[in-house]
């Protein structure tokens, strides 16, 4: 099945990688400091394998049960799977050692549940903390003030390790309109670093999707989540 390469997926993947490299160089950054997370929600295993053959090794899923099924079906040990969607507390039981990184820990209570589950299995899960930079009611995530006030509490949880921050900007027609929010997350990260909280690493910034990932790279993203530009349009959730 790995031989069934979809040429368009390979071309799209290479184009996105090239754009990331160009954006990094424009900002004076090392392109190797940015990882492309290929968002494979609703993509078949065959399409995942086509992207894999093109060179993709990091894939992101946003629904836990689809992710579990796809991980088992694809069954390639050198793929790093990331969970990027909203994680309900009653679905935590499905994460067992499947994900290199969970991008979407949006509250201390969720972090506590994940930590307890992982600790009971002798595991430590790498996570990012989701911040609602724009203050939109419809967005998941902590406010910047909540993040700073609770950062020490996150650092004390033994079953998780905080590796950075994640955000989703408001939908904008012009990618440039997202820049202020990407800049805001980077500045928030830098402010949090001055707190020197034990048990918290903030080396990762997960921000930028198909419409605005180049702007995100210019503003410091280390992880960009791109699906539509690689696999094409998908059905609305």
Task: Return the number of other C-beta atoms located less than 10 Å from residue 104's C-beta.
Answer: 22
| Closest by CA position to 126, among listed 72, 163, 155 | 163
* HEC sequence for 208-229: CCCCCHHHHHHCCCCEEEECHH
Q: Which domain holds residue 69?
A: 7-231
In a domain, 211, yes or no: yes
Domain count, the chain: 1
Residue 32's CB is within 10 A of a number of other CB atoms, namely 8
Asked whether residue 237 is assigned to any structural domain, the reply reads: no
Task: With a cut of 60, say whether residue 3 has pLDDT above it.
Answer: no
- For residue 220, being part of any structural domain is answered with yes
Instruction: Say if 151 falls within a structural domain.
Output: yes
Is there a domain that residue 236 lies in? no
Per-residue pLDDT at 185? 98
**Does residue 210 lie in a domain region?**
yes
Domain of 162, CATH number, reads: 3.20.20.10
Give the whole-number percent of the chain exceeding pLDDT 90: 90
Is residue 2 a part of any domain in this protein? no
pTM over 0.85: yes
The answer to the question of residue 119 being in a domain is yes
The pLDDT value recorded for residue 62 is 95
Q: Give the pLDDT mean for 212-234.
A: 96
Confirm if 144 and 135 have CB atoms less than 8 A apart. no
Longest CA span, the chain: 51
Is the pLDDT reported for residue 235 higher than 80? no
Residue 162: phi and psi, rounded to 5, are -80, 120
- How confident is residue 35, by pLDDT bands cut at 50, 70 and 90? very high
């Amino acid at each position: 099945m790995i031989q069934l390469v979809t040429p368009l997926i390979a071309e799209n993947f290479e184009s996105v990688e090239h754009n990331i490299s160009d954006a990094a160089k424009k900002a004076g950054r090392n392109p190797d400091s940015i990882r492309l997370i290929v968002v494979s929600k609703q993509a078949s295993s065959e399409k995942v394998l086509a992207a894999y053959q093109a060179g993709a090794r990091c894939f992101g899923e946003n629904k836990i049960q689809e992710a579990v099924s796809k991980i088992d079906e694809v069954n390639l040990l050198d793929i790093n799977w990331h969970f990027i969607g909203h994680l309900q507390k009653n679905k935590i039981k499905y994460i067992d050692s499947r994900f290199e990184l969970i991008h979407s820990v949006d509250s201390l209570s969720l972090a506590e549940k994940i930590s307890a589950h992982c600790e009971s299995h002798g595991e430590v899960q790498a996570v990012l903390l989701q911040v609602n930079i724009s203050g939109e009611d419809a967005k998941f995530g902590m406010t910047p003030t909540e993040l700073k006030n609770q950062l020490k509490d996150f650092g004390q949880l033994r079953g998780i390790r905080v590796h950075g921050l994640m955000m989703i900007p408001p939908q904008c027609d012009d990618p440039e309109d997202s820049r202020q929010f990407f800049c805001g997350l980077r500045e928030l990260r830098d402010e949090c670093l001055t707190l020197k909280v034990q048990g918290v690493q903030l080396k990762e910034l997960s921000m930028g999707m198909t419409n605005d990932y180049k702007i995100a790279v210019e503003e410091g993203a280390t992880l960009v989540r791109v699906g539509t530009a690689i696999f094409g349009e998908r059905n609305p959730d």
